[in-house]
């Protein structure tokens, strides 16, 4: 059975239907990229996948055994976080929170996991640095490490490269690609960057308040929707 299955799902936002006609499946190990213009329903769908929103109709089902505390999430940054006094390590360790249950403090295993994920993203040197003093790319790496702490199966990323310069963007993409290949984490990513999506993702889901395309990246490049969107972006 697929890890995530959407059947005729639709979601509304403040009473208006934001996105409808969703029919897709995400298999274990897939790298799905959700693309589309602003207001096409990408963020709403993400909320639905995270179960922060229930579908208006249809269903979103997770394969048995995928609990909320096995999903890692890289959200868009909020204004409050920009001046938050916390060390990178404190932020990363907080990714393990959902495993604590009613226990009050982190165990040795939690701390080891935080260390491992810092090493994986080569940010051990940021450990004691203050989060608000990090650069945009470093902050994203810290949040990615936190998301990795939270999951073993599924990683959901909401525009991870927004506002980053091209070099940092490329580094972050290859890091995500590595996570997908080496650890075998399933990845669902929202992105504006259609070129990179077509390059790295195995599957593409194109939204325009409804599902316009779902298939493999190769099929997408060959399709008329994909060709137009890719071409348009290239200018």
Partner 1 sequence: MIDIVAEMFSYAFLVRAIVVGLLVSLCAALLGVSLVLKRYSMIGDGLSHVGFGSLAIATAMNAAPLIVSIPVVVLTAFLLLRVSENSKIKGDAAIALISTSSMAIGVVTISLTTGMNTDVCNYMFGSILAMSRGDVSLSVALAVMVMTLFVLFYNKIFAVTFDENFARATGVNVGLYNMLIAFLTAITIVLGMRMMGAMLISSLITFPALTSMRVCKKFRTVTICSGFISVICFFVGVVISYLYATPTGASVVIMNIMAFLLFWAISSIAKIIKRRKNA
Please give the residue ranges that form the binding site for partner 1 (CB under 8 A).
50-52, 67-69, 71-73, 75, 78, 80-81, 84-87, 90-91, 94-95, 97-98, 100, 104-106, 128-130, 133, 146-147, 150-151, 156
Helix ranges restricted to H, the chain: 42-49, 88-93, 97-100, 108-120, 136-150, 166-178, 194-200, 217-222, 224-234
Closest CA to 212 of 196, 194, 225: 225
CB of 106 to partner 1, least distance (A): 7
CB of 98 to partner 1, least distance (A): 4
Give whichever of 108 and 234 is closer to partner 1, judged by the CB atom. 108
Strand 4-13: give its sheet, edge to edge: 16-26, 4-13, 57-62
CB of 95 to partner 1, least distance (A): 7
What is the b/e burial string over 51-62, where b = at least 16 CB atoms within 10 angstroms of the residue's CB?
Answer: eebebeeeebeb
At 37, give phi and psi (nearest 5°). Answer: -75, 175
149 within 8 A of 98, measured Cβ to Cβ: no
Give whichever of 71 and 198 is closer to partner 1, judged by the CB atom. 71
Q: Please, which residues bridge with residue 70 across strands? A: none
CB of 43 to partner 1, least distance (A): 11
Give whichever of 46 and 194 is closer to partner 1, judged by the CB atom. 46
CB of 101 to partner 1, least distance (A): 10
Q: What angle do CA 160, 206, 165 make, to 5 degrees?
A: 25
Give whichever of 127 and 208 is closer to partner 1, judged by the CB atom. 127
Closest CA to 204 of 185, 227, 188, 228: 188
Give whichever of 86 and 225 is closer to partner 1, judged by the CB atom. 86
Give whichever of 87 and 202 is closer to partner 1, judged by the CB atom. 87
CB of 82 to partner 1, least distance (A): 11
The answer for residues whose C-beta is within 8 angstroms of residue 113's C-beta and 6 or more apart is: 96, 149
Sequence length of the chain is: 235
Strand 186-190: give its sheet, edge to edge: 71-74, 154-158, 186-190, 31-35, 203-207, 211-216
CB of 89 to partner 1, least distance (A): 8
Give whichever of 151 and 191 is closer to partner 1, judged by the CB atom. 151
């Amino acid at each position: 059975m697929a890890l995530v299955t959407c059947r005729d799902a639709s979601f509304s936002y403040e009473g208006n239907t934001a996105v409808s006609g969703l029919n897709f499946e995400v298999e274990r190990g897939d790298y799905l990229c959700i693309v589309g213009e602003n207001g096409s329903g990408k963020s709403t769908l993400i909320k639905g996948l995270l179960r922060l929103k229930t579908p208006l109709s249809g269903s979103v089902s997770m394969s048995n055994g995928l609990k909320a505390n096995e999903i890692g999430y890289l959200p868009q940054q909020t204004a409050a976080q920009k001046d938050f006094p916390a060390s990178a390590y404190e932020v990363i360790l907080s990714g393990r929170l959902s495993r604590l249950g009613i226990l009050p403090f982190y165990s040795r295993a939690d701390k080891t996991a935080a260390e491992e994920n810092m090493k994986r993203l080569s940010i051990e040197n940021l450990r004691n640095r203050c989060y608000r003093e990090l650069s945009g790319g470093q902050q994203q790496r810290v949040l990615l490490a936190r998301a990795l702490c939270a999951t073993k199966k599924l990683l959901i990323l909401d525009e991870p490269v927004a506002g980053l310069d091209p070099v940092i963007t490329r580094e972050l993409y290859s890091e995500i690609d590595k996570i997908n290949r080496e650890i075998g984490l399933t990845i669902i990513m929202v992105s504006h960057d259609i070129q990179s999506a077509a390059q790295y993702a195995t599957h593409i889901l194109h939204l325009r308040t409804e599902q316009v395309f779902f298939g493999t990246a190769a099929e997408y490049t060959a399709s008329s929707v994909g060709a137009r969107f890719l071409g348009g972006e290239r200018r």
